[in-house]
């Protein structure tokens, strides 16, 4: 019973999806709640603050676990049986005993169900119930009040600690630096609030229009009604009037329409939508249409630009999804709730700050012991102990790190790269793999017609070249090119896919508005006619009308139309698509026997090849045409020939890929184009270096009596004459030479093969991905999946695409760079205004510079805190402290100014062949802090002890009156009646001392020197002398410090609260700091930053990378049977087996479901966590 109760207490939301969530049920207990309130009162609200930072603790403290159906709290304060998570509403289902997502029609409905259950509309009663359950159809982005944003910022744990620190300092009279930090913090908070507010307003304005659309719907038994779009519910029947902005996701059930989906795809290309077929079966409607179901869906946020009513009735659509369940809602949610940054720097930074706070805690107890031992009053003891506690965590830390990111963001903006997620800039410094889309990214966006290769009598004919200027002769091939496309005539302008447009222009035919004189049969679908233009060749056909269209989709790789030629009583089918796909739908006797060789002849030269086919339909009635299924239309066709189009590389592509290769950054092509074309483009762009081996991986689904299989074919080069470097697949027995295995081997595969490997060869997939370079015919979902699989191997993945089909992958990657400015790219972290891949190395350079700067600032501020901590702790030993102006010199004149300019050094213009360290808790960095701590500790302690041995030394803090009487040579008697220090004056002279005078120049110069040492330039940043302001500040600070120390001006010494000493002692102090600088600089530069030395140490002691891809590379290098060539392997069984290579079996293989991203837990930005 108890086990069942535990099971009912927990359920999963969105199981198996990216946003999978665990939900636990709790019931409030009044006694527990009263106890929590009492404790909150007794602790003056501290418990409430803790509960604000950790809401789940509040639930655990005041509630007990219970079955979800009895719960009134689901880790968040909410209502019974209904919760809202990330804007999605869930309702408790008593039958299923789980939460169900609401606001959408179930996918289980068949085409018949949708037409007959919802085709006539919902009743008013059904609408009211659905509105109550599903909520309004609105994408509402709240503009948060400024006071709320301020409270969220101020209650950040770091700012709470900062407020405590500054309050303590102000109470002890340390005003100037405290005021400076307050001003800086206020500016930081105000800028953050302003930025958040602006983002909120922009997003609100982006979606606000969506919520105020007037729509017409059909109400059952009542006819057409007009209402506001926010009242729509799933199941409503929407009437499409014409030009119209869609306020929801809907499935088209009558008529067809043309929409602009640039909001989703990033391309302003009209897309034709067709109605859901009338079929009587029980198969779910999405399953029936497979991946092509999107052709029936009208997505929220897209624009209907043209409707084609069926006969006399209106164009109708059934509402599928409302509110945040829609496509636009999902886009907005991806902005509101981005994936948490999985970057080690931020978790390490949090641990580092905890360590510094722990060091401060040690100082706190040390100070307590010293002051209690000397019998100081409890109030003064507590104040001094708390002061030492606050020394180690510099309050300027968040401002300094944020400044570095701002500098990088500003430099990126100058290069026309815009960022909506600044924290990802640091992550760009770790990128070691970049995925590129091909068309529009590596190659030119537009295509040029090269020629056609018609067929006749089962043979390819002479090539017709478009460059000859001769018009294309009339033939079924010409008719296919003129009619088989998705172009539309909008306001007298032909619009549509660039490929379709180029193909149509090649026929020299034109489009005109519908005219009954040209053809006998007129339907509402045919609102334009296609006829020969003035420059077209002679044609026996006056016009062509398209009666039905089966749109192109990337998953089907084809499109077809049913058309009628004027003067004819029968109908024709024309089809175009990927050659290898289209050939499957043609009668084998019509496909030339040398089709594979001819196709390869063009694809290896980098041409884009489209195949065309045709058949005459046997049906004679228009009504029969409208009821034909796609399967019936697309069968038994006659192969017509090939259309050859040229897709040139962008001039920037080859140099950029070479630059990335030299920087040891992997490049991968992920495209929807033909595999052979992709291989050729990869070779021409030198993504695959000359002389490298390419292995084609072809995987097949399991069949009835055969398991899934994977075939490895070696692709070889053969010189076939001038200008042609043919690539062909070797079916013989050759293999990869032993010396060329591993890094020179590149795998190429199609999206279909990738899917089979993903499902049936999960142990083989990581091995292939380690050397996978070309992934062709990839759907948008497969692109996202591929990026995720690379991340599971611990690659830091960049994705660069034009936004068309890359939106999912752009969001999934660590750094997605969109070359499109459309709304679809809003969720991409980076957007480049320059539409070529030059932005990729620029972003990586700035990322590396920002990352190195962040590490340098963090190391400096850590050392600055430790330096001050050591000096202050030594003075505490004799109940003393540095003077206010001594601290001001270090805190404002050096640290504050240095930290705000240290990160402004520009990125180095050349990419280094290795990445900067990605972890704060790495041996070089930890050793750097540890050794510099030792150096400063040794110098300060030696100075502290050695000054006591000097013959002129006097314990000023004990014998101040005697000392002051004998100091006439240097100063007048100083008045100590007022409080000059951060603490209440404990004894008359608690600041003036030879120890303090000796330690202050050491600590101050030490702060300057570590700033110089940690500002490393090459190979990730330009040399330090290029950062003029930073260098000037360092030199000025050093000069002022030396001047103060060596000057004998009474006013300066009195103001700085120093004691004049003999010149030889001052020189000794300066020499000691110089020696410390030289030693620290040598250790940092020659040892800790010596990459060759660390590689040697790793090799000597056998340290190996923890990255999964490194482990696989090492294992595969030791495997004599890898890579396999010219063989076929099978999965363990016919259903779900795992591949096992008998020659190599890995005992450390991690099951796919258990792979983590680099073993790292998901961390938010550490300031948020603080």
Q: Residues 558, 610: contact at Cβ < 8 Å?
A: no
Residue 607 forms beta bridges with which residues?
Answer: 646
Q: Residues 1010, 858: contact at Cβ < 8 Å?
A: no
CA-to-CA dists, residue 1099 to 961, 1087, 1094, 1102, angstroms: 64, 16, 8, 5
DSSP 254-282: ESEEEEE-HHHHS---EEEE-PPP-----
Looking up tokens 């179930």, which residue turns up? 106
What are the backbone dihedrals phi and psi of residue 66, each rounded to the nearest 5 degrees, phi first? -160, 165
Q: Residues 138, 305: contact at Cβ < 8 Å?
A: no
Q: Residues 558, 552: contact at Cβ < 8 Å?
A: yes
**Three-state SS letters, 997-1015:** HHHHHHHHHHHHHHHHHCC
Phi-psi region of 636 (alpha: psi -120 to 50; beta: other; left: phi over 0): left
SS3 of the chain: helix, strand, coil, percent, to 5: 45, 20, 35
Q: Catalytic: 437?
A: yes
Cα separation, 693 vs 682, in Å, equals: 12
Cα separation, 218 vs 899, in Å, equals: 65
Cα separation, 1089 vs 1092, in Å, equals: 9
Cα separation, 202 vs 209, in Å, equals: 12
Q: Residues 614, 574: contact at Cβ < 8 Å?
A: yes
Q: Residues 224, 218: contact at Cβ < 8 Å?
A: yes
CA-to-CA dists, residue 381 to 358, 375, 1009, angstroms: 19, 9, 33
What are the backbone dihedrals phi and psi of residue 26, each rounded to the nearest 5 degrees, phi first? -135, 155
Which uninterrupted H or E stretch holds 840?
A: helix 839-876
Phi-psi region of 943 (alpha: psi -120 to 50; beta: other; left: phi over 0): alpha
Catalytic residue among 8, 254, 330, 437: 437
* DSSP 8-state secondary structure symbol assigned to residue 377: -
Query: Which residues have a Cβ under 8 Å from the Cβ of 460 and sit 6 or more positions away?
Result: 453, 454, 592, 594, 598, 641, 642
Q: Residues 928, 1084: contact at Cβ < 8 Å?
A: yes
Query: Which residues have a Cβ under 8 Å from the Cβ of 357 and sit 6 or more positions away?
Result: 392, 393
* DSSP 8-state secondary structure symbol assigned to residue 1141: B
Cα separation, 1033 vs 893, in Å, equals: 8
Q: How many helices (H) and strands (E) does the chain have?
A: 40, 41
Count of Cβ atoms closer than 10 Å to residue 75 Cβ: 20
Cα separation, 870 vs 1068, in Å, equals: 20
Looking up tokens 């239309």, which residue turns up? 633
DSSP 692-758: -EEEEEEEE---SSS--EEEEEEEEEEE-STT-EEEEEE-SS----GGG-GGGEEEEEEHHHHHHHH
What are the backbone dihedrals phi and psi of residue 941, each rounded to the nearest 5 degrees, phi first? -65, -40
Cα separation, 1020 vs 601, in Å, equals: 45
CA-to-CA dists, residue 531 to 222, 359, 502, angstroms: 45, 84, 16
- Annotated active-site positions, please? 437
């Amino acid at each position: 019973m108890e086990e069942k109760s535990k099971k009912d207490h927990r359920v999963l939301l969105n199981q198996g999806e990216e946003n999978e969530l665990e939900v636990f049920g709790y019931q409030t207990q009044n006694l527990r709640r009263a106890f929590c309130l009492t404790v909150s009162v007794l602790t003056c609200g501290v418990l409430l603050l803790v509960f604000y930072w950790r809401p789940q603790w509040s639930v655990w403290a005041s509630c007990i676990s219970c079955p979800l159906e009895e719960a009134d709290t689901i880790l968040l304060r909410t209502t019974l049986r209904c919760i809202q998570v990330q804007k999605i509403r869930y309702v408790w289902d008593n039958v299923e005993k789980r939460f169900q997502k609401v606001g959408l029609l179930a996918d289980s409905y068949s085409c018949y169900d949708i037409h007959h259950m919802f085709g006539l509309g919902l009743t008013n009663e059904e609408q009211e119930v659905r509105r109550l359950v599903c909520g309004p159809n609105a994408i509402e982005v709240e503009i948060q009040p400024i006071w709320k944003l301020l409270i969220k910022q101020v209650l950040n744990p770091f700012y709470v600690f900062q407020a405590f620190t500054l309050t303590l300092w102000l109470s002890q009279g340390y005003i100037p630096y405290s005021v400076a930090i307050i001003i800086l913090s206020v500016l930081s908070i105000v800028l953050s609030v302003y930025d958040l507010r602006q983002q909120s307003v922009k997003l609100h304005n982006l979606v606000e229009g969506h919520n105020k659309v007037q729509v017409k719907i059909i109400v059952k038994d009542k006819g057409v009604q007009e209402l506001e779009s926010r009242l729509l519910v799933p199941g409503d029947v929407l009437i499409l009037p014409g030009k119209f902005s869609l306020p929801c996701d809907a499935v088209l059930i009558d008529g067809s329409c043309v929409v602009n989906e640039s909001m989703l795809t990033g391309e302003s290309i009209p897309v034709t939508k067709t109605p859901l077929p009338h079929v009587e079966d029980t198969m779910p409607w999405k399953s029936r249409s497979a991946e092509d179901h999107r052709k029936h869906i009208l997505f929220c946020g897209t624009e209907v630009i043209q409707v084609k009513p069926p006969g006399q009735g209106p164009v109708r659509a059934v509402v599928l999804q409302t509110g945040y369940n829609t496509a636009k809602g999902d886009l907005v949610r991806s902005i509101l709730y981005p994936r948490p940054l999985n970057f080690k720097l931020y978790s390490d930074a949090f641990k580092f700050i905890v360590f510094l706070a722990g060091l401060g805690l040690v100082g706190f107890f040390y100070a307590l012991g010293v002051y209690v031992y000397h019998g100081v009053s409890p109030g003064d003891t507590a104040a001094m102990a708390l002061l030492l506690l606050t020394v180690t965590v510099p309050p300027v830390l968040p401002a300094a790190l944020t400044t570095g990111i701002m500098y990088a963001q500003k430099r990126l903006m100058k290069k026309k790269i815009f960022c909506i997620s600044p924290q990802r800039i640091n992550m760009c410094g770790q990128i070691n793999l970049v995925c590129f889309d091909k068309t529009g990214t590596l190659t030119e966006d537009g295509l040029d017609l090269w020629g056609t290769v018609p067929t006749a009598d089962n043979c390819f004919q002479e090539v017709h070249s478009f460059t000859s200027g001769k018009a294309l002769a009339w033939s079924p091939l010409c008719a296919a090119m003129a009619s088989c496309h998705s172009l539309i005539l909008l306001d007298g302008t032909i619009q549509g896919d660039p490929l379709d447009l180029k193909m149509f222009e090649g026929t020299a035919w034109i489009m005109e508005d519908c005219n009954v004189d040209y053809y006998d049969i007129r339907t509402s679908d045919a609102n334009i006619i296609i006829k020969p233009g003035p420059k077209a060749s002679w044609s026996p056909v006056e016009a062509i009308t398209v009666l039905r269209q089966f749109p192109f989709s990337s998953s089907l790789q084809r499109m077809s139309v049913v058309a009628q030629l004027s003067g004819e009583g029968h109908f024709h089918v024309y089809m175009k698509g990927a050659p290898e796909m289209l050939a499957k739908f043609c009668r084998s006797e019509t496909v030339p026997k040398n089709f594979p060789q001819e196709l390869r002849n063009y694809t290896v030269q980098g041409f884009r090849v489209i195949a065309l086919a045709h058949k005459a339909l046997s049906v004679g009635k228009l009504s029969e045409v409208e009821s034909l299924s796609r399967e019936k239309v697309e069968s038994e066709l006659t192969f017509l020939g090939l259309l050859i189009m040229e897709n040139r590389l962008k001039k920037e592509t080859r140099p950029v890929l070479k630059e990335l290769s030299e920087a040891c950054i992997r490049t991968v092509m992920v495209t929807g184009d033909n595999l052979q074309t992709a291989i050729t483009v990869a070779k021409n762009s030198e993504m695959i270096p000359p002389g490298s081996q390419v292995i084609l991986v072809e995987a097949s689904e399991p069949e009835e009596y055969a398991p899934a299989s994977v075939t490895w074919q070696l692709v070889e080069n053969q010189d076939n004459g001038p200008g042609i470097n043919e690539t062909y697949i070797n079916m013989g027995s050759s293999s990869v030479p032993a010396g060329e295995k591993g890094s020179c081997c590149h795998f190429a595969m199609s999206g279909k093969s990738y899917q089979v490997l993903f499902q049936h060869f999960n142990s083989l997939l990581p091995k292939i991905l380690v050397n996978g370079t070309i992934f062709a015919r990839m759907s948008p979902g497969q692109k996202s999946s591929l990026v995720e699989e690379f991340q599971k191997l611990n690659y830091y993945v960049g994705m660069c695409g034009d936004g068309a089909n890359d939106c999912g992958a752009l969001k999934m990657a660590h750094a997605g760079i969109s070359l499109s400015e459309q709304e679809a790219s809003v969720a991409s972290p980076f957007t480049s205004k320059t539409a070529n891949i030059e932005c990729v190395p620029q972003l990586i350079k700035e990322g590396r510079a920002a990352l190195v700067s962040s590490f340098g600032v963090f190391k400096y501020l850590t050392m600055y805190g430790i330096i001050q901590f050591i000096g202050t702790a030594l003075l505490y030993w004799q109940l003393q402290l540095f003077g206010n102006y001594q601290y001001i010199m270090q805190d404002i004149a050096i640290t504050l100014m240095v930290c705000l300019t240290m990160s402004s050094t520009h990125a180095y213009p050349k990419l280094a062949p290795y990445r900067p360290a990605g972890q704060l808790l790495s041996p070089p960095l930890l050793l750097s802090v540890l050794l510099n701590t030792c150096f400063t500790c040794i110098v300060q302690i030696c100075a502290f002890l050695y000054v006591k041995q000097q013959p002129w030394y006097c314990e000023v803090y004990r014998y101040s009156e005697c000392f002051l009487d004998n100091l006439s040579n240097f100063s007048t008697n100083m008045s100590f009646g007022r409080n000059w220090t951060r603490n209440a004056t404990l004894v008359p002279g608690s600041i003036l001392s030879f120890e303090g005078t000796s330690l202050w120049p050491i600590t101050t110069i030490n702060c300057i020197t570590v700033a110089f040492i940690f500002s490393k330039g090459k190979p990730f940043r330009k040399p330090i002398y290029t950062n003029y302001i930073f260098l000037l500040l360092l030199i000025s600070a050093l000069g002022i410090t030396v001047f103060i120390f060596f000057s004998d001006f009474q006013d300066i010494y009195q103001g700085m609260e120093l004691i004049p000493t003999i010149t030889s002692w001052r020189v000794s102090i300066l020499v000691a700091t110089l020696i410390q600088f030289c030693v620290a600089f040598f250790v940092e530069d020659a040892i800790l930053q010596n990459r060759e030395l660390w590689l040697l140490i790793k090799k000597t002691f056998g340290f190996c990378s923890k990255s999964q891809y490194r482990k696989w590379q090492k294992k595969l290098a030791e495997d004599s049977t890898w890579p396999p060539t010219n063989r076929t392997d099978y999965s363990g069984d016919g259903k779900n087996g795992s591949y096992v290579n008998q020659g190599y079996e890995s005992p450390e293989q991690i099951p796919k479901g258990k792979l983590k991203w680099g073993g790292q837990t998901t961390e938010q930005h550490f300031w948020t966590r603080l």
